[in-house]
Amino acid sequence: DTQLVMLMTCSPVGGLPLGFMLLGSKNEATTTAGMNEFKSMLSKDAFFKRGDKGPSLFMTDDDPALINSLKKTWPQAKTLLCILFRYDS
């Protein structure tokens, strides 16, 4: 039930890693604790000096524990759901 969470950002050269979390469980409490630990390591100048406001946007898959954890950790950020669109002609 271990989970690897990759925090990435986009840039002109592609995706860049911000950090990785190896969590011992996929539940919301563990994920929230991991997010809060990650947040505690950031400087006040992180996210373009937004400080505790954190990032303005997240994109994630349909994982309720992760989505709720992000909302608890950074309540001002918007969360978008990433979906796979497949077009077969």
pLDDT digits (tens, 9 = 90+) for 58-89: 999 889 999 999 999 999 999 999 887 777 76
Beta-bridged to residue 80, according to DSSP, are 59
Q: What is the pTM of this model?
A: 0.81
pLDDT digits (tens, 9 = 90+) for 35-50: 999 999 988 888 888 8
- The helix (run of H) or strand (run of E) holding residue 67 is helix 64-73
The tokens describing 56, both together, are 């303005």
Residues 6+ away with beta carbon under 8 Å from 84:
none
